[in-house]
Amino acid sequence: MIKGKLITIEGPDGAGKTSVLEKLIPLLNDSVTQEIVVTREPGGVAISEHIREIILDVHHTAMDNKTELLLYIAARRQHLVEKVLPALEAGHLVFIDRFTDSSVAYQGAGRGLCKREIQWLNQFATDGLEPDLTLYFDVPSEIGLARIEANKNREVNRLDLEKIDMHQRVRQGYLDLAKEQPDRIVTIDASKPLEKVVEVALGSVLTLIKT
């Protein structure tokens, strides 16, 4: 039985998810009693990290869009079964850096695959598990891409090499999802200073925990 809460972190590349999480988790550790688990997709467990290497390899330019989608879905399933569900069953507060919405935004809006089919595959992979809360960090594509450029230490992956119009479609995909599911998805303006973004994110998580 699921006793914990699942919180997913979403946003286009360069939205600053990683920086926000680094500040948010210590603050939460000070204010909640539950154990906090932070993990990421694609990856989080050995099998899914292997799949991640295949997906993001800059040499894999021949990868078909449906192959890409199915690899993300396979990585998701393994990560869920091996790590996320046991943590939720133990009553932990689980944060995943990217989950089902990434497939809809990137492979759906970004790559042009059918949204309904992606949603079916997500449902198949997760047995219908939905996040209790999704923090969507929204940032205009120009700002997101400029941040990636400025952050020289970050590894460059195959998806970072995409042109600005792909990034714009991904953002639009997220905005559409946020409009469709306002109860689950909280949109946070990630073009604001980091401290402000962290404050809003913390407020949303604390509200969820109190309910």
Confirm or reject binding of residue 136 to ligand TYD (CB under 6 A): no
Give CA torsion, residues 91, 38, 73, 164, to 10 deg.
140
Provide, rounded to whole angstroms, the least separation between the CB of residue 18 and ligand TYD: 6
* CA–CA dist 37, 87 (Å, integer): 7
Check residue 69 and give left, alpha or beta (phi > 0: left; psi -120 to 50: alpha): alpha
In contact, 166 and 109? CB cutoff 8 Å = no
Q: Which is nearer to ligand TYD, 159 or 202 (CB)?
A: 159
Tell me the β-bridge partners of 94: 6, 37
Residue 153 — φ and ψ, nearest 5°?
A: -75, -20
Provide, rounded to whole angstroms, the least separation between the CB of residue 199 and ligand TYD: 21
Stretch that binds ligand TYD, among 20-28, 103-111, 126-134, 179-187 (CB under 6 A): 103-111
Confirm or reject binding of residue 29 to ligand TYD (CB under 6 A): no
Site string for ligand TYD, 63-82 (x = CB under 6 A): ---------x----------
Confirm or reject binding of residue 41 to ligand TYD (CB under 6 A): yes
Q: Which is nearer to ligand TYD, 25 or 56 (CB)?
A: 56
